[in-house]
């Protein structure tokens, strides 16, 4: 139970088709007896009503299940670093957009602000990538981040190589183990998930 008593920042960015997985992530963190889960959302997650979710309902789900208010502004996210608010940030799901900004030092969403403050404290960040251009334009950003101190990737795979040949998605079965290894300063291996998991 390496995650016991740890404070987790759960950062959710706008990969809306993955939102149905987020409650399961929260449940699996709770099963590890974490101390607290602080939800942090990008502006897209906070605002966009999509065919997958209504934004307000999704925020309500996050707040009810984590028993914490979401951090949904850059001003609120700024305290994550100075107050040492969490032990680790899990960006799950992480869009190609957030990956690109993270790899290039851009800080214009609450998630990116929280990560920026957090890594100045030399603490780990775990990334669960989900983007249709993972083997396209986003690949260089994955390369940049996978080779950056304190950044760890949840194993990922192609989710539909015939219809979306450049698409990558994290494998949710490895979320907990990736966090555990990240606390030990290790990237879980293999980072390429080689089997399709039916959830």
Cis peptide before 23 (omega within 30 of 0): no
Question: Judged by CB under 6 A, does residue 50 bind ligand FMN?
Answer: yes
Q: How far apart are CA 155 and CA 128, in angstroms?
A: 8
Phi-psi region of 11 (alpha: psi -120 to 50; beta: other; left: phi over 0): beta
Residue in the shown chain whose Cβ atom is closest to ligand FMN: 14
Q: What mask, x for binding ligand FMN by CB under 6 A, covers residues 98 to 137?
A: x----------x--------------------xx------
The stretch near ligand FMN (CB under 6 A) out of 14-22, 79-87, 150-158, 191-199 is 14-22
Question: Judged by CB under 6 A, does residue 14 bind ligand FMN?
Answer: yes
Least gap, CB of 31 to ligand FMN (angstroms): 26
Question: Judged by CB under 6 A, does residue 172 bind ligand FMN?
Answer: no
10's enclosing H/E stretch is strand 7-12
| Measured CA distances, 158 to 37, 132, 169 (Å) | 29, 9, 6
Least gap, CB of 95 to ligand FMN (angstroms): 3
Q: How far apart are CA 154 and CA 176, in angstroms?
A: 9
| Measured CA distances, 20 to 16, 52, 53, 61, 81 (Å) | 8, 8, 9, 11, 29
Size, binding site for ligand FMN by CB under 6 A: 19
Question: Judged by CB under 6 A, does residue 141 bind ligand FMN?
Answer: no
> Which residues contact ligand FMN (rule: CB under 6 A)?
13-17, 42-45, 48, 50, 52, 95-98, 109, 130-131
């Amino acid at each position: 139970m390496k995650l016991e008593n740890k404070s987790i920042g759960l950062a959710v960015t706008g990969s809306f088709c993955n939102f149905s997985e987020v409650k399961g992530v929260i449940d699996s963190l709770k099963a590890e007896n974490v101390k607290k889960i602080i939800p942090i959302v990008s502006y897209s997650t906070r605002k966009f009503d999509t065919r997958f979710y209504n934004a307000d309902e999704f925020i309500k789900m996050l707040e009810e299940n984590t028993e914490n208010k979401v951090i949904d502004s850059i001003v609120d996210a700024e305290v994550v670093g100075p107050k040492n608010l969490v032990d680790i940030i899990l960006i799950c799901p992480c869009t190609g957009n957030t990956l690109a900004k993270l790899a290039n030092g851009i800080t214009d969403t609450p998630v990116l602000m929280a990560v920026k403050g957090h890594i100045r404290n030399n603490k780990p960040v775990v990334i669960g990538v989900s983007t249709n251009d993972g083997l396209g334009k986003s690949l260089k950003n994955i390369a940049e981040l996978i080779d950056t101190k304190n950044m760890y990737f949840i194993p990922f795979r192609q989710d539909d190589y015939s219809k979306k040949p450049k698409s990558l998605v994290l494998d949710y079965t490895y979320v907990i183990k990736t966090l555990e290894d990240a606390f030990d300063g290790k990237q879980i291996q293999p980072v390429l998930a080689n089997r399709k998991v039916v959830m």
